C-alpha cells in the first residue's frame, strides 16, 4: 500500500511540474509575441509555383490597403543599376555559375554582376520596409527583412501541376516541366544570394498549404496575424 501511495505521489508531483513548465512556456511565448509588435507592418510572401502566392498577396494588399510589390521591385533595381527589367529578371531564372556570369558581362554591357544586383536588391527591399504597409512577393525578402511577417505558401506537387496546366492552357506534362523548373530556380536563387534553403520552415512565421485552404482563407489567416502584431498609430 505504501508503494502504491508513493507511486501516486510521484505522478502528482510530475504532473504539477509539467503544469508549471507549461505555464512558464506560455508566458515566454507571450513575451516573444509582444516583441513582434510593429507600427508599420510588412508582409513577405514566398511561394511555390501553383500555390497561389501572387493572388493571395494581392488579396492581402487590397484588404489591408497596403502597397503590393512583385515585378515592381525588378523595375526599381533596373533603374538603379542602369539595366533593363528583362536583364534583372534573369537573376531569378538564369544560371549563376562563374563562367556564364563572366561571359554575360563580356558580351552584354546591360548585364548586371551578381554583387551589384544583390546590393541593389537589399537597398530596394529595405526602402520598402522603411515605408511599411507593404506586401512583397518573392525576391528573397524573407531573408532580408527579419521584422516582417514572413509567409510561405505551398501545395502538393501534383495539384500545382494541375493548376498551372489550367492557368496556362498547356498539358499536364508540359506544366510538370514548368513547375519543376520554377522550383529549381527558386531554390537556386535563395541558395546563391542568401545561402538559405527555401524549404527551411524557420525562415517563415506562417507556412500555409493551399492544397487544403482556399486563397481567400489563406489571405484571412495572414491578415489576422498582421492585425495581431500591428500597433496602429
Laid out side by side, the sheet with 206-209 consists of 67-69, 134-137, 42-47, 149-154, 206-209
- What global pTM score does this model have? 0.76
Can you give the pLDDT at residue 206?
94
Q: Has domain 36-229 been given CATH number 1.10.3720.10? A: no
Distance of CA 21 to the CA centre of its chain: 32
Can you give the pLDDT at residue 76?
83
Q: How far apart are CA 182 and CA 204, in angstroms?
A: 20
Q: Residue 64: name the closest of 154, 138, 134 by CA.
A: 134
Can you give the pLDDT at residue 56?
97
**Angle (nearest 5°) at CA 16 between 11 and 22:** 125
**φ and ψ at residue 135, rounded to 5 degrees:** -120, 120
For residue 148, CA distances in Å to 109, 118, 162, 165 come to 35, 19, 32, 33
Question: Each residue's pLDDT tens digit in the chain (233 positions)?
Answer: 455 556 776 777 777 777 777 777 676 766 666 665 666 799 999 999 999 999 999 999 999 999 999 888 888 888 877 776 666 776 665 444 443 443 344 334 455 677 888 888 899 999 999 999 999 999 889 999 988 999 999 999 999 999 999 999 999 999 999 999 999 999 998 998 899 999 999 999 999 999 999 999 999 999 999 998 887 65
For residue 54, give every residue at least 6 positions away whose Cβ sits within 8 Å of its Cβ, in sequence order, or none: 47, 70, 137
For residue 4, give every residue at least 6 positions away whose Cβ sits within 8 Å of its Cβ, in sequence order, or none: none
Amino acid at each position: 500500500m505504501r508503494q502504491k501511495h508513493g507511486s501516486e505521489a510521484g505522478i502528482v508531483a510530475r504532473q504539477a511540474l509539467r503544469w508549471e513548465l507549461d505555464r512558464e512556456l506560455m508566458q515566454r511565448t507571450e513575451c516573444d509575441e509582444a516583441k513582434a509588435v510593429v507600427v508599420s507592418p510588412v508582409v513577405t510572401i514566398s511561394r511555390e509555383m501553383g500555390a497561389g502566392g501572387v493572388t493571395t498577396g494581392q488579396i492581402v494588399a487590397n484588404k489591408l490597403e497596403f502597397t503590393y510589390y512583385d515585378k515592381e521591385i525588378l523595375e526599381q533595381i533596373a533603374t538603379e543599376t542602369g539595366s533593363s527589367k528583362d536583364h534583372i529578371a534573369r537573376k531569378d531564372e538564369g544560371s549563376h555559375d562563374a563562367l556564364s556570369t563572366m561571359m554575360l558581362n563580356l558580351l552584354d554591357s546591360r548585364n548586371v554582376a551578381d554583387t551589384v544586383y544583390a546590393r541593389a536588391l537589399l537597398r530596394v527591399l529595405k526602402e520598402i520596409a522603411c515605408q511599411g504597409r507593404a506586401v512583397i512577393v518573392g525576391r528573397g525578402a524573407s531573408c532580408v527583412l527579419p521584422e516582417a511577417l514572413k509567409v510561405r505558401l505551398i501545395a502538393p506537387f501534383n495539384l500545382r501541376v494541375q493548376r498551372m496546366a489550367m492557368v496556362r492552357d498547356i498539358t499536364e506534362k508540359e506544366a510538370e516541366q514548368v513547375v519543376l523548373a520554377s522550383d529549381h530556380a527558386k531554390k537556386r536563387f535563395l541558395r546563391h544570394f542568401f545561402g538559405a534553403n527555401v524549404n527551411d520552415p524557420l525562415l517563415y512565421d506562417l507556412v500555409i498549404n493551399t492544397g487544403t485552404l482556399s486563397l481567400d482563407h489563406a489571405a484571412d489567416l495572414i491578415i489576422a496575424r498582421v492585425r495581431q502584431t500591428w500597433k496602429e498609430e
